[in-house]
Structure 1
């Protein structure tokens, strides 16, 4: 489920179904005239699961807004064989934001050493050629190794960044 706000201010929630063969647009919900809390998101999850058939659903992916996380937790309680996970690309974008809150005026070289490897991971998950769960942990470990390699023997240059990555 992909929630976004259009230029005209409308909040749209797109519902996409992914399989190893392809992704399919299932529909959209105009949520402009209502607040979206966790119960409304849970109801949307539930309607979508029932429409597709619970036996055909393995995982729900959304951004990691608090209402989605709470709805995801409720959904996993109701359907213990279906998982909720936050969108990897959204999490990496949040990591970038958190990194630049630490020291927004850091040197360009430091920013490139830190953000370059994370940008590679973001590009991988945004391609959507295959589901990121099959490679995301390895890709993040590799990006952390590359960041660490960029600061040989100077752990203080990246330890806060690693805490942010691990928290997201």
Structure 2
């Protein structure tokens, strides 16, 4: 094996602990499972006698090479930013320690690349601080290269976006497609809100299985919206069993029946609007799933296909309601 081959093997072995940590959620890099994996690489993957990397070899030369490789990838993306322009995408999420983290990615015809992340625990609900973050990122990339900033449409982000458009007249703030669909559909249908009630009460889900032939009401999938739609479909299939549950003496004996929200849910499911509301929600949401699959897909950049996908979804929704404008207009 030549020098380049050995270096490639060293880098692969250096990545292994982190790859295993991400896949198997290992707590420590020196977990014994890593040692076992390294042993298999030693004997099977790279041939007998190849020496595994030491701690310092992983920490210093391998890490440096990985940094150089990553910087090279980012530089290749920057060429595209300068030629075709780019979109800044900000993903806000809450870590296990309750810190609010904003991941900053940049999208161009080359694809998406991670740029950096911020601890936004003290600024995520402040529109002025969010604008400062927008401005800082915009200037770092080069305002002449940026077309828009994409982030969820929380109120502070909307205000920050309005400030952005006032200061940088040629730039746009665009709300995230997935977040808009989630928010808009959630606000329309009581049936989708019922999904949240069930998902937050594991004990209730277990009790429900007694009435649904041990079938689960929901299935966790990639996005919250998709999970809700899968659950709604289960609600529709199990509508008789759900009504049997909430009309039974077993329901009246459990703690949830005494909650105000529990009484509201039971009354809704037993009442006359549940079935119709569920059917209407599915008519609206199923076409939107196609849009979300496009947005969440990783095979190609979805930016150039979003408007056509939304137009097709609108046509599918109209058709589902027999083109009765009174029924679909609010969506």
Q: For the superposition of Structure 1 and Structure 2, which TM-score range results when normalised by the shorter chain?
A: 0.7 to 0.9
Point out where structure 2 has 5 or more consecutive residues left out of the alignment.
1-89, 194-273
Q: Per the alignment, do residues 83 and 153 of structure 1 end up closer, same or farther by CA in structure 2, a change over 3 Å counting? A: closer
Q: Is 1:56 aligned to residue 110 of structure 2?
A: no
- Which residue pairs with 1:74 in the alignment? 163
1:33 to partner: Cα distance: 4.2
**Which residue of the partner structure matches residue 185 of structure 2?**
96
SS at match of 2:113: strand
Whether 1:39 aligns to 2:210 is no
Report how far residue 56 of structure 1 moved: 1.5
Contact 2:294 2:302 in 1 (8 A): no
Q: How far, CA to CA, are the matches of 2:144 and 2:175 in structure 1?
A: 21
Q: TM-score, normalising length from structure 1?
A: 0.83
TM-score by length of 2: 0.45
- Structure 1 position 13, deviation (Å): 0.8
Match of 2:290 in 1: 120
The worse-fitting range, judged by mean Cα deviation, of 49-58 and 37-46 is 49-58
Alignment RMSD (CA, Å): 2.2
Q: In the alignment, does 2:95 pair up with 1:6? A: yes
Measured in 1, the distance between the counterparts of 2:328 and 2:191 equals 11
CA distance in 1, matches of 2:319, 2:327: 11
Find the residue that maps to 2:98 and give its secondary structure.
Answer: coil
Q: 1:69 and 1:126 mapped to 2: Cα distance?
A: 23
Q: Which has the higher helix share?
A: 2
1:159 aligns with 2:248: no
Distance 1:59 1:4 in 2: 21
* Count of residues paired in the alignment: 160
Shift of residue 42, structure 1, vs aligned partner: 0.6
Could you tell me how far apart the structure 1 residues matched to 2:323 and 2:111 are?
45
Give the C-alpha shift of residue 131 in structure 1: 4.0
CA displacement at 1:148 relative to structure 2: 1.7
* Alpha-carbon distance, 1:124 to partner: 1.2
| Distance change >3 Å, CA 35–CA 156, structure 1 → 2 | closer
Q: Secondary structure at the match of 1:9?
A: coil
Which is bigger in relative contact order (C-alpha 8 A, separation at least 6)? Answer: 1
Q: Which has the higher strand share?
A: 1
Q: Take 2:131 and 2:288, find their aligned partners in 1: how far apart are those partners?
A: 31
Tell me which structure has the larger Cα radius of gyration.
Answer: 2
